[in-house]
Amino acid sequence: MIKGVDFMIMEEFLAEEEKIIRDTTRKFVEKEVLPIIGDHYDKGTFPTELIPKIAQLGLLGITTPPEYGGAGASYFSYGLACQELEWCDSGLRSLVSVQNSLCMYPIYTYGSEEQKEKYLPKMCTGETIGCFGLTEPDAGSDPASMRTTAKKVDGGWVLNGNKIWITNAPIAQIAVVWAKTEEGVRGFIVERDTPGFETPEIKKKMSLRFSPTGEIVLEDCFVPDENLLPGSTVGMKAPFSCLNRARYGIAWGAVGAAAFCFEKALNYTKDRVQFGKPLASFQLVQRDLADMFTEVTKCQLLVYRLGRLFDEGRASHVMVSMAKKTCTMTAAQVARKARELLGGNGVSLEYHVIRHLCNMETTTTYEGTDKIHSLIIGRYLTGINAFR
């Protein structure tokens, strides 16, 4: 199902357009991004000139209906695109995930008709990049404990607070910000030029270095009434529904990163000769390769089935938790193994696996840590809420 790794012959379950979406995305990242990514990762920069190219491909607004400028594709296709993007880099996939699942999805689902018409078409073309403000310095796994407030005033709301670890924040033109009102948590669209809105970039991160990450600082930030997401009910349901979609994309993406690392390790160990024979001829190496191959295949089966259920409206958030947790942890293990099999070259950005390995350290944490997803599965199994 992914080029090179399709042991269970899942290719034959893909529709024509799904294959074309997958192959086109792969061709694009292979030609346009992979050759430049090492340098950007090294410097911790993101080439914003890439955004119009990504947009032209239709990757911003994958599931958004055509009347708002999107492709109107399925979540399965969205998953395949995430897989191919992260085959290249998690940060690249994060950019697309955040735009699609965390910004366009809430505007489409909870926004007014005016909001949809105002924002979605420009988000499809990449003129407007969005970010999603939920996590705070003191509210990570427990987002309901957020301190950011929205106070009702005449004609709008005044927002105060700090959001942190916000993907795309430094380059975003709008932010979907979640804040506590007197009734509870609500979502707001905050535009870049709003006084009191700042997005300082977070530097010195050793993971997702291709992805611009920032804070959102809200200081007496006035947001007009029409920027409240009217369809979002009070509470955490709306932001969690966004996270559910983003987690879904992360699971698919991790399969792409894992497949990349596996293939790299396989080819490397077949070529590299030591003690007069290829590394791949050693039993210990073959066991590693067999394990990696098996784990990647298991994750493929998981996301494939999840994707079909998602489009049928039958995927529960617990299934998404399982996929997100398993695929990211597997990808981290596969990347680590690949790093080891590549020896010294494994730590060089030229061979890419160290980049994936560093990225996986984020994907196993963001959008619900491994442990949080275990508790979600545990709560489902036992009926006992272990969160509090």
Partner 1 sequence: MKVVVFCKSVPDTETRVKLKDNRLDKSEIKYILNPYDEFAVEEAVRMKEAGKVDEVVAISMGPERAREALRSALAIGADRGILIKDDVLDGSDTYVTAKVLVKALEKDGAEYGMLLFGQQAIDGDTWHVPGQVAEMLGLPQAGSIIKLEVDPDAGKAVANRLVEGGEEVHEMSLPCVVTCRKGLNEPRYPSLPNIMKAKRKPIQDYSIADLDLSPEEVGKAGSFTEVLSYSLPPKKEAGRKVEGEPEEVVQALVKFLKEEIKVI
Q: Which residues are catalytic?
A: 367
- Letter for the amino acid at 230? P
Rounded distance between C-alpha atoms, residue 112 and residue 363, angstroms: 32
The rounded Cα 238 to chain-centroid distance in angstroms is 18
Residue 82 interacts with partner 1 (CB under 8 A): yes or no? no
- Letter for the amino acid at 104? M
Q: Which of 81, 107, 315, 372 is close enough to bind partner 1 by CB under 8 A? A: 81
Give the nearest distance from C-beta 252 to partner 1 in angstroms. 15
User: Helix 90-97 vs helix 75-88: angle between axes, to the nearest 10 degrees?
Assistant: 150
**Closer residue to partner 1, CB minimum distance, 125 or 160:** 125
**Closer residue to partner 1, CB minimum distance, 12 or 193:** 12
Q: Which of 57, 88, 242, 299 is close enough to bind partner 1 by CB under 8 A? A: 57
Give the nearest distance from C-beta 336 to partner 1 in angstroms. 26
Residue 256 interacts with partner 1 (CB under 8 A): yes or no? no
Q: Which stretch binds partner 1 (CB under 8 A): 55-63, 103-111, 161-169, 281-289?
A: 55-63
**Closer residue to partner 1, CB minimum distance, 28 or 366:** 28
Residue 58 interacts with partner 1 (CB under 8 A): yes or no? yes
Rounded distance between C-alpha atoms, residue 248 and residue 221, angstroms: 32
**Closer residue to partner 1, CB minimum distance, 9 or 206:** 9
Residues in contact with 47: Cβ distance below 8 Å, sequence separation at least 6, in sequence order: 36, 40
Rounded distance between C-alpha atoms, residue 233 and residue 250, angstroms: 26
Rounded distance between C-alpha atoms, residue 325 and residue 247, angstroms: 9
**Closer residue to partner 1, CB minimum distance, 59 or 107:** 59
List C-alpha distances in Å: 353 to 264, 288, 320, 337. 8, 15, 26, 10
Rounded distance between C-alpha atoms, residue 319 and residue 204, angstroms: 34
Taking residues 7 to 26 in sequence order and writing x for each that binds partner 1 by CB under 8 A, - otherwise, the string is ----x----xx-xxx-xx--
Residues of the shown chain interacting with partner 1 in the complex, contacts defined by CB under 8 A: 3-4, 6, 11, 16-17, 19-21, 23-24, 27-28, 56-59, 62, 66, 70-73, 77, 81
